[in-house]
Every structure is written in C-alpha cells, then in structure tokens.
Amino acid sequence: MELLRGIHIIRGEISNMYLIDTATEILLVDAGIPSDSEKVLSYVSALGKKIDAIFVTHAHWDHVGGLKYLKEATGARVVAHRDEVPYIHGDIPGRRKFEPVDVDMVVEDGSELFGLLVIHTPGHTSGSSCLLDRERKALFVGDLVYEESGVLHEMYHHYSRDPQENRESIIKLLNYDFTHIFPSHGNPILWRGREILGSLVKSFQLH
C-alpha cells in the first residue's frame, strides 16, 4: 500500500518492509522472512518496478531471512552498516540462522544512499541504522522503536544488545528533521511522528 508519494509498505508475516521510490533507484528497506519473498516480488511487479537495492536496518532473522532469495531474484545490491556486515556474511554466530549474503555497499553514520541519509542507531544491535528521506521527512527506524495503539515504545530490553544505548539512539533522532516514522513493527505514524517520538523521549526522563 502506498502511504506517501513513492513510499509503500509491504506487511510481512512478522515485520514491515518498505519500498522507497527515490529519484534514481527503487530501494527496499529490509527483506522479511523467507515466506515474505514472493509477496514482495508480486507487489513490486504489480507496480511495474524493479528493486535496485535492499537496505538492511539490522541482521535479525525477521529482517534478513528473505535477503538471499530476494537478492538472487532481483539482482539488487545489499546495503548495510559496516558493523552489521559480519552478521550478514555469517562470520559471527549467535543470531538466528539465515542464509549468509554478500554485502555490496557498506555504509556508516552520515552516509548518503540515493539521496537518503543513513543514521547509525546502535543498541538493538551494534550496526542498527535508520534511513531519513529528507525531502519527504520520512524516517525508517527498523527495530529502534515499535508502534502500538498510536504510541511508540522502545524495543523490549531483552531483545536488544544494549538497551541503554538503544535509548540514547532514540534520543539522537530528535536532532533530525522528520514528520513521519516508519517502524518495522506496528503501524507507521504519519504527520505526528516527531511529536510521538518526543513523548517517548520525555517518558525516559521520568524514570
């Protein structure tokens, strides 16, 4: 479903994926689990588009389980923060098993990706990263936060490598200009994203 001009949500079995039509490329944010792959391909085909690149917010199974298949099916380049690369390559054990994949483009905090800004937001994982579409003021946050009943929450602490660092990354986002938030879990928050995230940050100060 198209949420904003050129920004589409594809709801996977566990997590959301997003399709961004930039000025030059079609970018998929995350790849879901293996059973999501055909849904992604069907949706993109119905639009008459082709995926040029897949940005991995972080290398957990529900975000990269379908990565190898989608890369092979589309020829898309895989893009990830340098701290996630060893996990995507399968060099570091410990995360749920998925098919290792080569990363074609390595990014870091402040990198530009087809006109979008990469923001390194560690905590959930070491290389967790967000994408900011400054033109549309759209922020793609991966598992940094999740939405429930119109409210944003920090990811459950037991799912994050460093919950305090994850909280610091959430606070960091208020340094950027955005209006809409697109989380991997729950519903996107349009128009009020910055306000709702600000409410979450204020709740940190009360604890």
Rounded to the nearest 5 percent, the helix, strand and coil shares of the chain are: 30, 30, 40
**Mean pLDDT over the full length of the chain:** 95
pLDDT at 94: 60
pLDDT at 90: 85
75 token code pair: 């020829």
Query: Which residues have CB under 8 Å from 82's CB, separation 6+?
Result: 106, 107, 108, 127
**What 3-state DSSP class applies to 125?**
coil
pLDDT at 161: 85
Rounded distance between C-alpha atoms, residue 97 and residue 84, angstroms: 15
The 10s digit of each residue's pLDDT in 9-61 is 999 999 999 999 998 899 999 999 999 999 999 999 999 999 999 999 999 99
What is the CATH architecture assignment of 2-205?
4-Layer Sandwich (3.60)
| CA angle, 96 then 99 then 104, to 5° | 115
Confidence band of 193 (pLDDT split at 50, 70, 90): very high
The 10s digit of each residue's pLDDT in 78-87 is 999 999 999 9
37 token code pair: 């792959």
Q: List the one residue out of 49, 48, 56 whose CA is nearest residue 29.
A: 56
Q: What is the value of pTM for the model shown?
A: 0.96
